[in-house]
Amino acid sequence: MLKNQLAYLPDLSDLRPEANIDDAIVGEPGESDPEEEERLRAVLRKHRMIFLGEGNALPPPALGVVCDLDIGDEKPTSMRSRRIPADLLSKVYELLKRLLETGLIEYSNSEWASAIVLVMKKNGTDVRLCIDYRLVNQLIKLMNYPLPLIDELMSNFAATMWFMTLDMASGFWAVPMTARAQLISAFICPLGHFQWKRMPFGLKNA
């Protein structure tokens, strides 16, 4: 059965393959010269550990930030597992298998349990795994953080000569979680009871 197969996942020795910096396209054709491009490539090599190789789902943990969930003295909430149509069960299995392989989730004995919800993607074939955290979010205390204003950020660029943009891979999954936050994040489905090791979508303050 699929439920039992989850206990026999292959071990992956390399979960964070480094990006091949030498194959990266740097510079602007007709604008940058070989010396400038090599200088940029040298910077990329120096910081190669923050770049992910193709096909990798688990980014290195973010430094100086951690996800914690304050629920005060509230008691755990537990939802029942919701039925998954037979034709979608194998897709859920593959999603959970990948999350386990990459170390994003682990098996859980938590008193908390939120049910999963499946959402069909636009192609009508693949599914997106969502978690119903509505009960949990009602108990989590809201955090307030003073976000900077865009106009103020732009004014800081006034004397800057060079600009660059970076696409952050799996930004949510780069944030580690405290032990209590992992327990609160636990979710349940017909294939088992799991909890997140990195911050998931859907939780209040995430």
Q: What is the pLDDT of residues 58-112, one digit of tens each?
A: 667 777 888 899 999 999 999 999 998 888 888 899 889 988 988 899 999 999 9
Nearest Cα to Cα of residue 193 among 78, 91, 67: 78
Which residues in the chain belong to E strands, given as ranges?
105-107, 114-120, 127-131, 187-189, 192-196
Nearest Cα to Cα of residue 110 among 71, 64, 153: 71
Tokens 């930004």 -> residue: 171
Span 127-171, pLDDT tens digits: 888 999 999 999 999 988 788 888 888 888 887 777 777 666 666
Helix H segments across the chain?
2-5, 34-46, 86-101, 134-137, 150-155, 179-184
Q: In what order do the strands lie in the sheet with 192-196?
A: 105-107, 192-196, 187-189, 114-120, 127-131
Nearest Cα to Cα of residue 187 among 127, 134, 119: 134
Residue type, 38: E
Span 18-45, pLDDT tens digits: 666 777 777 777 788 888 888 888 888 8
Return the pLDDT at 169. 62
C-beta separation of 49 from 79 below 8 A: no
Span 149-160, pLDDT tens digits: 888 888 888 877
**pLDDT exceeds cutoff 70 at 12:** no
C-beta separation of 172 from 196 below 8 A: no
Q: Band of the pLDDT at 191, cuts 50, 70, 90? A: very high
Please list the residues that pair with 130 across neighbouring strands.
117
From CA 195, how far away is CA 123, in angstroms rounded? 28
The arithmetic mean of pLDDT across residues 105-127, rounded, is 89
Tokens 């990459």 -> residue: 102
3-state secondary structure of 21: helix
